[in-house]
Amino acid sequence: MSCALTVSNLICRYNGQAVLNDLSFRVEKGEIVCLLGASGCGKTTLLKAIAGLLPLDGGEMMINCRQIVGASLNVPPEQRNIGMIFQDYALFPHLTVAENVAFGLKGWHKAATNVRVKEMLALVKLDGLDTRYPHQLSGGQQQRVAIARALAGKPDLLLLDEPFSNIDTQVRHSLIKEIRKIFKEQGVTAIFVTHSREEAFAFADKLAVMNKGVIEQYGGATELYYSPSSRFVADFLGHGSYVPVSVNGDSKMYTPLGEWPVEQAANGSDLEWLIRPQNLSITPDDSGNGVVSDVQFMGDSCRYLVDVNGQSLMVYSNQLLDMGDKVRLDIRPHPPVLFEAS
Ligand SMILES: Nc1ncnc2c1ncn2[C@@H]1O[C@H](COP(=O)(O)OP(=O)(O)OP(=O)(O)O)[C@@H](O)[C@H]1O
């Protein structure tokens, strides 16, 4: 893969307050990257900075090895060859579907425009709807028009600001899958913003978990989920139990759940072991080591809290159990993630 976007030491301030704080990352060609983080952490600001819609206070950017932001350089938005899709799709209400898609093709000959519009509408499965107006389309169809329009001009990079937030939850899942497939087939490089980790996991190749204007961790979903570099990332990406451990430099950690091998850990008596629910399994067992203390039915599975030696652990299972049931809790072998106790 080769680099589609390089962002180095980006700084952006609003009223003297740094919102992007020396932020760096890179996106490879054909990758889909998600910016994920709590409200106000700077996701939209980063998207706007990449698009060239904000004055910057420092940093450099390159798109396809071409510098667009540097010491005395700031390429205007229209010369960056970036496509944008907004939360509300920003379709022109007085233009038909075909005219909306053609809008991104200024300067193209009429015949070539018609061919490209047809191609794009077929790609997003809207053939036959070219003469409709945006108000005659569902939310999902409007989203497809926005995607067709953004891709028509073959941008080097596509930026999407909460692209699925206005889509009905029933269609969202299949639309995400379908759009991801289109992006992969077309080799689209994309960066999108979301509040939803489920969307991030389903749509992105890589996640950038942002916190206070910096990227706290950047990588694949499973890497960040199972090997978070901080509690912030761990908690942002999902549930887990924190078990107190002590490590004495003898390749073992001592925990209320027993002794466990550990390869590398600083000596310390004040550490906590993050155990994801997926690393645990339970089996009904009258002579087991655990007792179910809380049950949450979630449809396709149940979320249980199980008490083992005074330690509460969260685990998922599709077995139906009741509060007070005795269970055996097993920990699947996994490289332990340890944090300083909070
Ligand atoms: N034009 C502006 N002037 C001053 N401050 C701003 C401006 N735009 C955003 N901010 C502030 O910058 C910070 C980051 O905003 P941004 O919109 O990038 O966050 P976000 O992560 O996208 O949030 P959300 O998830 O709520 O959309 C926030 O504290 C916000 O209040």
Whether 35 and 175 map to the same domain: the answer is yes
Residue with CA closest to ligand 1 atom 9? 45
Range of the domain at 101: 3-235
Whether 148 and 292 map to the same domain: the answer is no
Instruction: Flag whether pLDDT at 265 surpasses 60.
Output: no
Closest CA to 290 of 332, 321, 254: 321
Give percent above pLDDT 70 in the chain. Answer: 98
**CA 41 to ligand 1 center in whole angstroms:** 7
Closest CA to 188 of 7, 65, 33, 51: 33
Confidence of residue 268 (pLDDT cuts 50, 70, 90): low
Whether 227 and 256 map to the same domain: the answer is no
* Residue that the structure tokens 């944090």 belong to: 339
Q: What is the mean pLDDT of residues 107-127?
A: 90
In single-letter form, the type of residue at position 54 comes to: L
**Per-residue pLDDT at 331:** 92
pLDDT per residue as tens digits for the range 71-116 = 889 999 989 999 988 877 789 999 999 999 998 888 888 889 999 9
Q: How many CA atoms lie within 13 A of 68 on its CB side?
A: 26
Whether 45 and 190 map to the same domain: the answer is yes
Whether 40 and 168 map to the same domain: the answer is yes
Closest-lying ligand 1 atom to the alpha carbon of residue 46:
18
Whether 217 and 256 map to the same domain: the answer is no
pLDDT per residue as tens digits for the range 271-302 = 899 999 999 999 999 999 899 999 999 888 99
Residue with CA closest to ligand 1 atom 24? 39
Residue with CA closest to ligand 1 atom 28? 40
Please tell me whether the interface predicted TM-score (ipTM) of this complex is above 0.90.
Answer: yes
**Per-residue pLDDT at 44:** 92
Whether 135 and 192 map to the same domain: the answer is yes
In 10 A of CB 323, how many CB atoms?
Answer: 11
Give percent above pLDDT 90 in the chain. Answer: 64
**CA 206 to ligand 1 center in whole angstroms:** 23
Question: What is the rounded CA–CA span in Å between residue 174 and residue 203?
Answer: 11
Whether 79 and 147 map to the same domain: the answer is yes
Cα distances (angstroms) measured from residue 49 to each of 196, 260, 277? 22, 47, 38
Whether 255 and 229 map to the same domain: the answer is no
Confidence of residue 229 (pLDDT cuts 50, 70, 90): very high
Closest-lying ligand 1 atom to the alpha carbon of residue 195:
25
Question: What's phi and psi for 256, nearest 5 deg?
Answer: -65, -15
Instruction: Flag whether pLDDT at 338 surpasses 60.
Output: yes
Confidence of residue 167 (pLDDT cuts 50, 70, 90): confident
Report which of residues 210 and 264 the model is more confident about. Answer: 210
The residue whose CB lies within 8 Å of the most ligand 1 atoms, and thus the one to mutate among 44, 56, 165, is: 44
Last residue of a domain, one of 235, 269, 304: 235
Question: What is the rounded CA–CA span in Å between residue 228 and residue 49?
Answer: 27
Instruction: Flag whether pLDDT at 180 surpasses 90.
Output: yes
Report the interhelical angle of 110-123 vs 139-152 (nearest 10°): 140
Closest-lying ligand 1 atom to the alpha carbon of residue 41:
21
Enter the pTM of the model.
0.89
**CA 188 to ligand 1 center in whole angstroms:** 27
Residue with CA closest to ligand 1 atom 2? 14
Last residue of a domain, one of 235, 264, 289: 235
CATH at residue 336:
2.40.50.140
Last residue of a domain, one of 182, 210, 235: 235
CATH at residue 209:
3.40.50.300
Using an 8 Å Cβ cutoff, are 43 and 80 in contact? no
Residue with CA closest to ligand 1 atom 27? 39
Confidence of residue 170 (pLDDT cuts 50, 70, 90): confident
Whether 215 and 243 map to the same domain: the answer is no
Q: Which residues line ligand 1 (CB under 6 A)?
A: 14-15, 19, 37, 39-45, 195
**CA 190 to ligand 1 center in whole angstroms:** 21
The residue whose CB lies within 8 Å of the most ligand 1 atoms, and thus the one to mutate among 41, 199, 216, is: 41
Instruction: Flag whether pLDDT at 202 surpasses 70.
Output: yes
> pLDDT averaged over the chain?
91
**Per-residue pLDDT at 93:** 92
**Per-residue pLDDT at 340:** 87
Whether 267 and 202 map to the same domain: the answer is no
Residue with CA closest to ligand 1 atom 29? 40
Total domain count for the chain?
Answer: 2
Confidence of residue 266 (pLDDT cuts 50, 70, 90): low
Whether 174 and 263 map to the same domain: the answer is no
Confidence of residue 143 (pLDDT cuts 50, 70, 90): confident
**Per-residue pLDDT at 233:** 96
Closest-lying ligand 1 atom to the alpha carbon of residue 47:
18
Instruction: Flag whether pLDDT at 221 surpasses 80.
Output: yes
Q: What is the mean pLDDT of residues 9-17?
A: 92
